């Protein structure tokens, strides 16, 4: 009997403070990929080098110890450099290891990647991976014709080959999962003590057309939802078997289908699932659901991110957000009125931005009054609809800097250093403003804000900015006030 082939799935050690400031997040895509691999007869191993904060020496040891037949990794644009380094390392350890990469950036930039990195990258999985990866491995190990495998790209020895695109998986309820392969103790939500955090997916896709985003392209503006019963049962499994008490929904629009979403809320309430929920959705879905916001609250939806992105209608229209400025304010108000944490982001550093326009955005962010706001540098994904309008202003070509933190677009009348300084200034002053308005918050929000501002100011990507030389006394007073609140 042939030994089962071992597939080592590695989340590369890329770090970006925006994501990691509030928690340690697992890669839910690998839960599905591993489930499908195991169901097909393979031995998957999930290794989250990012969340373990492992370096390349650690990764080398793990690959050497595991002796995998295949090393596969994943990469959004900012993580592509580290993803490729992982595969290069695997080939150096053992040239016989089959190397594979997938996710958004390789799906669209396969030509560029393979022309430069074909010496150690064997295959790119384009789009949804569960069916494609399994078929690819079956074909490779059977020494079959890989050109017949849909949705892959590879180097033929002289040029890039790309195969026919595969259709989307119709029934995502049917996908097997591998939650038992997750190293649960490392995944926590920092503002919540004794938390065990899972990332879950209630749906796949997005039917919107935001011009700066990758999701509308990756999912071809199609959306598929899991059934309410299937999703809620998974939360119960995670709670009962692995002690999960807080979940982050990974999908962009879990609320898209009102009937399905209403059923999810009803089941969460009826079954008293008791798991705290963090989620993202669209402004217009919150406005649509004004009459059932009480259900959100009762179902323990605790934290909602809505993408405001801009404070002027002109910029919203460029971004193709399909919302009005006043709608964003109303949605945040609704979340706040139901004592849920409201979060949003403001994308800045566009070609026409100036110091004055960025400061105006900051002032308007206080008017919107979210509990959390992140001021992000526009990232010109090379495959986005917005890219042609931005490419002439691209000043940084190192993809690892395309992390929404470091500016890579140079506005017409600003330097990159000025953009960075204004982003830092906006973040620093926004959170100082929140600390100074603690007395206007409910006790629940006050406790949350004290914890989260402490996290942001001491252990995240904002820490150095908030300790900057421009306002040392103000920062010092803010931190002293924060410490007093925390130790009362």
Give residue 436's pLDDT band: very low, low, confident or very high (50, 70, 90): confident
Q: Domain ends where: 130, 162, 194?
A: 162
The predicted structure's pLDDT at residue 327: 83
Q: Is residue 298 part of a domain?
A: yes
**What gap in Å lies between CA 126 and CA 329, rounded to an integer?**
38
Q: pLDDT, tens digit, for every residue of 384-428?
A: 777 788 889 999 989 888 888 889 999 999 999 999 999 989 988
- What one-character DSSP code corresponds to residue 378? -
Cβ contacts of residue 71 below 8 Å, gap of 6+? 8, 10, 63, 86, 87, 90, 97, 98, 99, 100
Q: How many folded domains does the chain comprise? A: 2
Long-range (24+ apart) CB contacts under 8 A made by 228-231 are 228/260, 228/263, 228/264, 228/266, 228/267, 229/267, 230/173, 231/200, 231/202, 231/264
Most distant pair of Cα atoms in the chain: their distance:
71
**What gap in Å lies between CA 402 and CA 349, rounded to an integer?**
13
- Tokens linked to 468: 């900057």
Q: Is residue 171 part of a domain?
A: no
Residue 377 has pLDDT above 80, yes or no: yes
Q: Is residue 102 part of a domain?
A: yes
Q: Do both 51 and 195 map to the same domain?
A: no
The predicted structure's pLDDT at residue 177: 96
Q: Do both 138 and 212 map to the same domain?
A: no
Q: Do both 76 and 200 map to the same domain?
A: no
> Mean of the per-residue pLDDT values for the chain?
87
- Tokens linked to 378: 């526009």
Torsion angle of C-alpha atoms 113, 118, 122, 126, degrees rounded to 10: 20
Q: Do both 228 and 375 map to the same domain?
A: yes
Q: Do both 118 and 198 map to the same domain?
A: no
Q: Are 478 and 432 in contact (CB under 8 A)?
A: yes
Highest mean pLDDT among 99-103, 381-385, 399-403, 447-451: 99-103
Q: Which of 247, 251, 254, 264 is nearest to 298 (CA)?
A: 264
- Tokens linked to 97: 């290891």
Q: Are 368 and 375 in contact (CB under 8 A)?
A: no
Q: pLDDT, tens digit, for every residue of 154-183?
A: 999 899 999 999 988 889 899 999 999 999
Q: Are 195 and 245 in contact (CB under 8 A)?
A: yes
Q: Do both 200 and 238 map to the same domain?
A: yes
Q: Is residue 450 part of a domain?
A: no
The predicted structure's pLDDT at residue 474: 59
Q: Is residue 113 part of a domain?
A: yes
**What gap in Å lies between CA 21 and CA 458, rounded to an integer?**
10
Q: Mean per-residue pLDDT for 329-357?
A: 92
**What gap in Å lies between CA 235 and CA 247, rounded to an integer?**
8
Query: Cα–chain-centroid distance for residue 284?
Result: 21
The predicted structure's pLDDT at residue 97: 98
Rounded alpha-carbon distances, angstroms, from residue 132 to 71, 161, 170, 341, 488: 16, 16, 14, 39, 55
**What gap in Å lies between CA 420 and CA 396, rounded to an integer?**
13
The predicted structure's pLDDT at residue 224: 79
Residue 116 has pLDDT above 80, yes or no: yes
| CATH of residue 263 | 3.20.20.70
Q: Do both 145 and 226 map to the same domain?
A: no
Highest mean pLDDT among 148-152, 367-371, 422-426, 460-464: 148-152
**What gap in Å lies between CA 125 and CA 102, rounded to an integer?**
5
By CB atoms closer than 10 A (0-12, 13-18, 19+), residue 230 is middle
Q: Do both 237 and 101 map to the same domain?
A: no
By residue range, what is the domain housing residue 10? Answer: 6-162
Name the more confident of 402 and 467: 402
Torsion angle of C-alpha atoms 297, 338, 336, 235, degrees rounded to 10: 0
Q: Are 340 and 304 in contact (CB under 8 A)?
A: yes
The predicted structure's pLDDT at residue 7: 98
CB atoms within 10 A of CB 212: 21
What is the total residue count of the chain? 488
Query: Cα–chain-centroid distance for residue 77?
Result: 12
| CATH of residue 24 | 3.40.50.2300
Q: Is residue 244 part of a domain?
A: yes
3-state helix, strand, coil in the chain (%, to 5): 50, 15, 35
Place of tokens 């002293």: 480
Percent of the chain clearing pLDDT 90 (strictly above): 59
Q: Do both 358 and 404 map to the same domain?
A: yes
Helical spans, DSSP H, in 408-466: 416-436, 443-459, 463-466
Q: Are 340 and 302 in contact (CB under 8 A)?
A: yes
**What gap in Å lies between CA 59 and CA 218, rounded to an integer?**
29
Provide the whole-model pTM. 0.88
Q: Mean per-residue pLDDT for 352-371?
A: 90
Residue 484 has pLDDT above 70, yes or no: no
Q: Domain ends where: 430, 450, 482?
A: 430
**What gap in Å lies between CA 363 and CA 34, rounded to an integer?**
46
Q: Mean per-residue pLDDT for 202-227?
A: 65
Q: Do both 149 and 283 map to the same domain?
A: no
Q: What totals of helices (H) and strands (E) does the chain contain, helices first?
A: 19, 15
Query: Cα–chain-centroid distance for residue 80?
Result: 14
Q: Is residue 390 part of a domain?
A: yes
Buried b (16+ CB within 10 A) or exposed e, 402-431: bbbbbbbbbbeebebebbbbbbbbbbbbbb
Residue 328 has pLDDT above 90, yes or no: no
Residue 220 has pLDDT above 70, yes or no: no
Q: Do both 263 and 340 map to the same domain?
A: yes
Q: pLDDT, tens digit, for every residue of 17-76?
A: 666 777 899 999 999 999 999 999 999 999 999 999 999 999 999 999 999 999 999 998
Q: Which of 322, 285, 107 is nearest to 210 (CA)?
A: 322
Q: Is residue 128 part of a domain?
A: yes
Q: Do both 215 and 122 map to the same domain?
A: no
Give residue 318's pLDDT band: very low, low, confident or very high (50, 70, 90): very low
Q: How many CA atoms lie within 13 A of 341 on its CB side?
A: 25
Beta bridge mates, 377: 348
Q: pLDDT, tens digit, for every residue of 123-138?
A: 999 989 899 999 999 9
């Amino acid at each position: 009997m042939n030994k089962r082939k071992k597939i080592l799935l590695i989340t590369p050690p890329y770090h970006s403070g925006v994501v990691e400031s509030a928690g340690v997040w697992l890669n839910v895509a690998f839960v599905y990929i591993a489930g499908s691999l195991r169901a097909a007869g393979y031995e998957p191993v999930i290794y989250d080098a990012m969340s373990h904060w492992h370096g390349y020496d650690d990764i080398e040891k793990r690959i050497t110890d595991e002796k995998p037949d295949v090393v596969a990794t994943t990469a959004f644009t900012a993580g592509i450099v580290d993803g490729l380094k992982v595969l290069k390392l695997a080939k150096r350890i053992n040239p016989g290891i089959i190397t594979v990469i997938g996710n958004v950036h390789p799906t669209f930039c396969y030509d560029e990647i393979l022309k430069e990195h074909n010496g150690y990258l064997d295959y790119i999985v384009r789009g949804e991976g569960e069916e494609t990866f399994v078929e690819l491995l079956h074909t490779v190990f059977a020494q079959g014709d890989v050109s017949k495998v849909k949705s892959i790209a590879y180097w033929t020895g002289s040029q890039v080959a790309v195969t026919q695109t595969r259709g989307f998986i119709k029934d995502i309820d049917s996908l097997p999962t591998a939650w038992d392969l997750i190293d649960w103790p490392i995944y926590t939500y920092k503002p919540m003590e004794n938390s065990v955090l899972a990332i879950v997916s209630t749906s796949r896709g997005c039917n919107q057309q935001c011009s700066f985003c990758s999701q509308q392209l990756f999912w071809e503006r199609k959306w598929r939802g899991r059934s309410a019963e299937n999703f809620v049962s998974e939360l119960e499994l995670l709670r009962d078997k692995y002690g999960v008490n807080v979940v982050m929904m990974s999908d962009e629009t879990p609320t898209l289908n009102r009937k399905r979403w209403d059923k999810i809320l009803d089941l969460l309430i009826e079954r008293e699932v008791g798991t705290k929920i963090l989620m993202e959705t669209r402004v217009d879905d919150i406005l649509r659901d004004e009459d059932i916001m009480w259900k959100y609250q009762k179902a323990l939806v605790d934290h909602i991110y809505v993408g405001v992105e801009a404070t002027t209608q002109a910029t919203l229209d460029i971004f193709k957000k399909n919302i009005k400025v006043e709608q964003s304010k109303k949605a945040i108000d609704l979340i706040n009125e139901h004592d849920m944490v409201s979060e949003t982001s403001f994308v800045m550093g566009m070609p026409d931005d100036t110091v004055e326009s960025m400061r105006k955005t900051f002032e308007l962010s206080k008017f919107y009054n979210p509990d959390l706001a992140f001021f992000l540098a526009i990232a010109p994904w090379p495959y986005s609809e917005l890219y042609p309008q931005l490419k002439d202003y691209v000043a940084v070509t190192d993809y690892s800097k395309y992390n929404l933190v470091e500016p890579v677009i140079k506005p017409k009348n600003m330097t990159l250093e000025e953009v960075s300084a204004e982003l830092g200034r906006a973040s620093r002053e926004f959170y100082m403003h929140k600390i100074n308005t603690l007395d206007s918050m409910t006790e629940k929000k006050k406790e949350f804000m004290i914890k989260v501002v402490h996290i942001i100011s001491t252990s995240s990507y904002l820490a150095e900015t908030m300790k900057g030389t421009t306002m040392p006394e103000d920062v010092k007073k803010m931190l002293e006030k924060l410490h007093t609140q925390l130790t009362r």
